[in-house]
Amino acid sequence: MSQLHVLGDHSSFVNGAADFIADAAARAQAARGRFTLALSGGSTPQPIYARLAAAEYRARLDWSRTYIFFGDERCVPPDDAQSNYRMARQALLDQAPLPRENIYRLRGEDDPARAALQYEQTLQAFFRCAPPPAFDLILLGLGDNGHTASLFPGTAALRERERWVVPQYVETLRAWRVTFTAPLINAARDIAFLIQGADKAQILWNVLRGPYQPDVLPAQLVQPMQGELHWLTDATAAAKITTA
């Protein structure tokens, strides 16, 4: 099932998204004793992660039973301004009482193919399962070209059906990325896109209401097998959907 949550202005979007994540954590920890969360990168999540680190959320989720992963990473060192890990560390990982051993960083500084294989082995060891593991929640962003995670239009990663994590050279960025694949993303119990800003209104409309063309709009590959798909937006990003 796919559900659109239009959360109002930017502040309401940040608070609403943080609440959504905290609620998912509470449900997972009550049901399975732990919360496995894959973070998305880019700029949208930063204030949401910072909000989640606030003391008031410590009554709502148990950080000691929360396990942090990364849905994609830029192939840069962890202290690079481009690093998704660096953004998450500054906004959340260093602010919340998260045990260091609960954080599984994707090693962007390594050779991309080796980093992808190592991360896949890390996931296999953590989840101890053969089919793609079911994360409790995978957070995703939506790029203005329809990419999500580091699944970019026209790339080989879009067609990967076996691997869970792959390296991908992105011509348009002239840069390497490492990313979760669609099979891994679609195995999640909950998937939540975090989308804000008027500049995302058209691409969101294209993804949700336009023709199905996943090679052009990779976000359309996100179709959970058994889980729930949520589109968390502010009012400006949803404007073309809600006024259509």
Distance from C-alpha of 17 to C-alpha of 233, rounded to nearest angstrom: 9
83 near ligand 6PG (CB under 6 A): no
Q: Are 37 and 20 in contact (CB under 8 A)?
A: no
Q: Using DSSP bridges, classify how beta strands 2-6 and 228-233 pair: parallel, antiparallel or unpaired.
A: parallel
Question: Between residues 31 and 198, which has the closer beta carbon with respect to ligand 6PG?
Answer: 198
Residue facing ligand 6PG at closest CB distance = 141
72 near ligand 6PG (CB under 6 A): yes
CB of 122 to ligand 6PG, least distance (A): 18
CB count, 10 Å around CB of 8? 12
220 near ligand 6PG (CB under 6 A): no
CB of 147 to ligand 6PG, least distance (A): 6
Q: Across-strand partners of 6?
A: 233
Q: Using DSSP bridges, classify how beta strands 165-170 and 228-233 pair: parallel, antiparallel or unpaired.
A: unpaired
Distance from C-alpha of 89 to C-alpha of 238, rounded to nearest angstrom: 29
CB of 197 to ligand 6PG, least distance (A): 7
CB of 150 to ligand 6PG, least distance (A): 6
Contact map string, positions 33 to 52, toward ligand 6PG, x by CB under 6 A? -------xxxxx--------
CB of 186 to ligand 6PG, least distance (A): 16
- Collapsing DSSP states into helix, strand and coil, what is residue 197? coil
Contact map string, positions 156 to 195, toward ligand 6PG, x by CB under 6 A? ----------------------------------------
Question: Between residues 72 and 160, which has the closer beta carbon with respect to ligand 6PG?
Answer: 72
Question: Between residues 62 and 110, which has the closer beta carbon with respect to ligand 6PG?
Answer: 110
CB of 81 to ligand 6PG, least distance (A): 13
Closest Cα partner for 47 from 93, 9, 100, 10? 10
Strands ordered across the beta sheet of 175-180: 72-74, 175-180, 165-170
Site for ligand 6PG in 120-149 (CB under 6 A): 141-143, 147-149
How many binding residues for ligand 6PG (CB under 6 A)?
15
Distance from C-alpha of 59 to C-alpha of 57, rounded to nearest angstrom: 5
Structure tokens at 11: 């502040």
Number of H helices, E strands in the chain: 7, 9
Question: Between residues 102 and 150, which has the closer beta carbon with respect to ligand 6PG?
Answer: 150
DSSP 40: P
Which residues form the interface with ligand 6PG (CB under 6 A)?
A: 40-44, 72, 74, 84, 141-143, 147-150
